[in-house]
Amino acid sequence: MNKPVKRIDASTIAFLRQWMQLGGDMSLPALELLKKGHTEAEVVAALEAIRPRGDALAGGAMDQPPLLRRAPPQLRRIDAPFPLYTLDDFLSPEQCAEVIEFSRQAMKPSTLSRSNYDVEFRTSTTANLYEIDDPRARDVDDRICRTLGIRAPYSEGIQAQRYELGQQFKPHLDCFEPGSLTYQKYAGMRGNRTWTFMVYLNDDVEGGATRFTSPGIAIQPRTGMALLWNNLYPDGSPNKDTRHSGEPVTRGYKVIITKWFRVHGDGPVLHD
* Average pLDDT of span 121-145: 96
Q: Which pLDDT score is estimated for 108?
A: 97
Identify the helix (H) or strand (E) that includes residue 12.
helix 10-21
Q: Which pLDDT score is estimated for 6?
A: 61
The pLDDT tens digits of the residues spanning 5-16 come to 467 889 999 899
> Which ranges of 37-195 does DSSP label H, i.e. alpha helix?
40-50, 66-70, 93-103, 135-148, 181-187
Longest CA span, the chain? 71
Class of the CATH domain delimited by 56-265 = mainly beta
The pLDDT tens digits of the residues spanning 16-46 come to 988 888 788 888 899 999 998 889 998 888 8
The pLDDT tens digits of the residues spanning 191-250 come to 999 999 999 999 999 999 999 999 999 999 999 999 999 999 999 999 999 999 999 999
**Per-residue b/e over 154-166, b at no fewer than 16 CB within 10 Å?**
bbbbbbbbbbeee
pTM score of the predicted model: 0.92
Q: Map out the domains of the chain as residue ranges.
A: 10-50, 56-265
